[in-house]
Structures are given as structure tokens and as C-alpha cells.
Amino acid sequence: MLIFERSHPSRRNAAQAPQAMAAVNIPAALLRKTAPLLPEASEMDVVRHYTNLSQKNFSIDTHFYPLGSCTMKYNPRACNTLAMLPNFLARHPLAPAHTGQGVLACLYDLQEILKEVTGMAGVSLMPMAGAQGEFAGIAMIQAYHASRGDTARTEIIVPDAAHGTNPATAVMCGYKVREIPTNADGDVDLDALRAAVGPQTAGLMLTNPSTLGVFETHIEDIKHIIHDAGGLLYYDGANLNAILGKVKPGDMGFDVIHSNLHKTFATPHGGGGPGAGAVGVAARLLPFLPLPVVAKLPSPTSGRGVGGEGAVEYRYLTEADLPLSIGHLSAFTGNIGVLLRAYIYAKMLGADGMHRVAEFATLNANYLMAELQKVGYRIAFPQRRASHEFIVSCKPLKDATGISAMDVAKRLLDKGYHPPTTYFPMLVPECLLIEPTETESKETLDAFVAAMKEIWDEAHATPDLVKGAPYSQPVRRLDDVKAARELDLTWKA
């Protein structure tokens, strides 16, 4: 039932609005004549409706959720509680800096933390998701070349295994995309790369570990090829979880990186966002960072800022400070609430915790890979170490039983597991991209393997059972074709 179907004309939820309708001093021509279609329901009915709807979701808080490339790790509840302290929520974005020394100090500290873990020279926290981080990064590459008068660089190179946001971003930044194939080991095809570079090369976007779940072994060769051609190196750090505390993109020679704080830094996905795609840059890109960036300065006035001797004041750097900046990417200051959550998480991990993230994420992935291989599933790159994730190809299973990756995925729902990512990356047929993350226990992984074994057996014994799955959810498989053909995007009264 939709909330509109719980609505009743002239019902009023009186607690949430002023009792009286105030006088409106606006010419009639500018006013609306018919009321918008918003439900008229009691507060209790609304609470009941959305409480019940929430129960129709799988989530980290309720289920194992090994969705590859998405890093569905535990979102500590303290991050939420503390980021929602009343003073943090109440402050207006245009309030003077002295009324926000607390939140600014957190942002500044987070910038420093990200500099340290990525090995970059500077960080801006402003991009509001990974894709906007990519935009900021490629825009900085563009600005860099432009600032040098190097205007012939019109291409961005993207491996074919890349996440869809990479080519889409390059195009949004006005570039042509040149795609490079992947070799049998899951690495970039170096010969193809060498053949592709030239004076038209603005840069390369590389995801490492790649979306195939492997660490790019020729990373240094790639760096040399691109840099020698005058291009810059963009690091898609959505998969930073695999290397956090182990290796720094800055040390690999990358010029710019974005990191998905809503993955590696455990901020919630919220059913689709908000995220935060902080960008880090090497020294030569510092002047181009998106605005604002938080600076820590000696306190100009006593009694403001963080007092005492050597008092400091935090404030935003603006166009005046960074005239070459690529500019603002949001009206104000990005997703501050997400950044606070990431900061709290980072403070709880500390140096030791950061080192452990990649270790245990990788341990879990390799263990799960080994165990699923024992069940009989085909591993896409068995000769390689898994990073934080790995790929199972259901191609052999499908050939033998007719059961596809999608069938396996849907059947997992009945076993109480959110499925892995399906049919991405597109390079591997019938693929399941599986990312357990470090916060899951061995018991959970073992139970998941047992479920996958059950499905393996069902696929051979009772394939129709699997094809009909799921049976346990609020709905069975949905007709996506109808959804796209007979568009029904809004409810009509």
C-alpha cells in the first residue's frame, strides 16, 4: 500500500505545522490553484507506514551484504549519533567561521588523515560522491594542462574493466575516452596502453585494485608510460579498502585520487547515498583543488577559535586564496554530515586500525574465494590473489544446469543473504563480484559458503526451484521490461 492510499482528504496532522493559516501577501497569478498530491495521514499512520516499509529492506544491520565494489562494511552507530549532536545540525553554512570552529576542526583533521593514508599532498573533501570526486580529479587534470597552455590533450584513457563512472566522467569533463583492454590475468594490456598514449593523452583513470578484484601488477610500468607521454594519473580509490594502510597511491606515483568515504570510511550508503568522494592530489595539482578547503591558521582574534596560547582558527579557503581552483561543486560545502561520520570512524581506527582494514578485508576475500572454489564454483582469476573482492563466474554452472548468475543471486535472498554484485564487471560472463569486507566473521562466511553449496546442489538437483527464486521476499522476480516499456514513475490518484 502506498502512503497516498492511507491518505484521506481533510485529515490533518496538526502537530507538525502552525495551527493557523497565515495571511499570504502574494498576487494571485503567482499562486497555485490546486493542492499538490501529498498524503493527508495521521502522524501514527506515517510512522507505521515507513517503519513497516523499512522492514522490507536488506541492509548491513540485518543481513550479510557481500556486494562487490560497494564495501558494505559495518557502519558504526556512534558515527551517526555523534555526527547528529544538536550543535552540528543547527549551524547555517553561511554562519561566520568563529561559530563553527568545532566542525571545521573535524574537517581539517579529516583532510590531514586522508593526506596521510593516500600519500597525497593535499585534499579537498567537497565532492559529494565517488563520481563527483572523479569529476573533480579529471577537471583538475584539465586545469593543469590548460594552465600550462597544453591544450592538445583531448583524451582520457580508461581500461575496459573500469567502473562506468570513469568513462562517463571523462566525457562530462569534455574528454574523449579511449578504452584499453585487459589481459588474461586481469591486468591492463601494456602493449595496448603503449600504443594508445600520445600528445593527445590528458591522463589515465585506473582503478586499483581493479574491479576484477586484483592488484594491478604493472602499476609502475603504467605510471611511466603515462607520465612519459605527458599525461597525468588518476586513481579511482573506490576500492581503497583493499590497500588501506598497505600501500599509498601517492607512493605509486599517482597525481590525483578520489576515495569513497561511504565505502572505505564506513559511512552509510543510506539506500543510495549521500556519499563523499574526497579528492587528494600531488603537489603539482594543489592550486586546482575544488573549493572550499579548510585551513588552520593562527588565530587573528583572541577569544575566538580554539583559545589559549598558540591559538588557531579554522576557516575555509576561497577563490581569493586559490584563484586557480576548479571551483565549487556544490552550493555550500558538500556532504558535511557524511564527512563527520568518516572522521569519527577514522579516529576510532587510528593508525593501527587503518593498517588492519586491508589485511582483514583481504583475508576474508581470499578465504571466501578458496572455500567457494572448493564447493565447485569457477573463480575468474584463480591464479591471482584476491584483493578485497573476487569474481565467481557462473558460466560453467549455467552450461551444466541452466542456472545463471542471476538465479544464484535470487536464490541467495531465500537463504537470508544479499547477493553479490551481478553482471559487473561486464568482461567476465555470468559473474558474481563478491566483497565480504573485514567486519564479517568467519562464522558468517562459513554460513554463506554453506548456502552457496546448497544452491550448487539445488542447481543440479532441482534447477526449477532455483529459477523461480526468490520465494521469501515481499515480491518475486519483477518484470523489468514492463517497467521500462510502460513507464509508471508516479502514482496517480
Partner 1 sequence: MPFIPHTSQDVSSMLASIGVAEIDALFDEIPAHLKSGSLTALGAGLNEMQVARLMRDRAAQDTPLLNFIGAGAYEHHIPAAVWELATRGEFYSAYTPYQAEASQGTLQVLYEYQTMMASLTGMDVSNASLYDGASGLAEAMLMAVRAHKTSRRILVPATVSPFYRSTARSIVKLQDIELVEIPYDRATGTVDMAALAQHAGTDFAALVIPQPNFFGALEDVDALTNWAHANGGLAIALVNPLSLALLKPAGLWGDNPHPNPLPGGEGTNAALRAPVGADIAVGDGQPLGAPLSSGGSYFGFMCCKQALVRQMPGRIIGRTVDLDGKQGFTLTLQAREQHIRRAKATSNICSNQGLMVTAATIFMSLLGQDGLRRVAAASHQNSQRLAALASGIAGVSVLFNTPTFHETVLQLPKPVAEVLANMANAGILGGYDLSADYPELGNALLVCATETKTEEDLQQFVASLQAAIA
Ligand X SMILES: Cc1ncc(COP(=O)(O)O)c(C=O)c1O
Site residues (CB under 8 A) for partner 1, limited to 114-173: 115-117, 119, 128-132, 134-135, 139, 142, 163-165, 167-173
**Site membership for ligand X, residue 236 (CB under 6 A):** yes
- Cβ-contact 298, 275 below 8 angstroms: no
Residue 282 to residue 257: CA distance in whole angstroms: 9
Q: Confirm if 197 and 225 have CB atoms less than 8 A apart.
A: yes
Asked whether position 45 contacts its own copies by CB under 8 A, the answer is yes
- State how far Cα 192 lies from the chain centre: 29
State the pairing for strand pair 277-281/256-260: antiparallel
What φ, ψ does residue 88 adopt, rounded to 5°? -65, -40
Contacts of partner 1 in 302-321 (CB under 8 A): 306
What is d(CA 253, CA 273) in angstroms, rounded to the nearest whole number?
30
108 is in the binding site of which of ligand X, partner 1, its own copies, none (Cβ under 5 to 8 A by kind)? none
* 213-272 residues near partner 1, rule: CB under 8 A: 214-215, 217, 219-220, 243, 245-248, 251-252, 260, 262, 266, 268-272
Cβ-based neighbour number of residue 61 at 10 Å: 11
131-165 core/surface letters (b: 16 or more CB in 10 A; e: else): bbbbbbbbbbbbbbbeeeeeeebebbbbbebbbeb
DSSP structure string for 166-179: HHHHHHHTT-EEEE
How many residues make contact with its own copies (CB under 8 A)? 29
User: Applying CB under 8 A, which part among 70-78, 141-149, 186-194, 427-435 lies near its own copies?
Assistant: 70-78
Judged by CB, which is closer to ligand X: 232, or 276? Answer: 276
| 15 touches its own copies by CB under 8 A | yes
Dihedrals φ, ψ of 117, to 5°?
A: -75, -25
Beta-sheet pairing, 421-422 with 390-393: unpaired
Per-residue interface string for the shown chain with ligand X, residues 55-74, x marking contact by CB under 6 A: --------------xx----
Residue 391, beta-bridge partner list: 433
Q: Which stretch binds ligand X (CB under 6 A): 125-133, 309-317, 391-399, 429-437?
A: 125-133
Minimum distance of its own copies from residue 474's CB (angstroms): 13
Binders of its own copies among residues 76 to 105 (CB under 8 A) are 76-78, 85-86
Q: For its own copies, what does the binding mask look like between residues 331 and 350, x meaning CB under 8 A?
A: -----------------x--
Euclidean distance between CA atoms 430 and 434, whole angstroms: 13
* Contacts to its own copies by CB under 8 A: 6, 8, 11, 15, 42-45, 47-48, 51-52, 55, 60-63, 74, 76-78, 85-86, 348, 439-441, 443-444
* Contacts to ligand X by CB under 6 A: 69-70, 129-131, 163, 165, 207, 211, 236, 238-239, 260, 275, 277
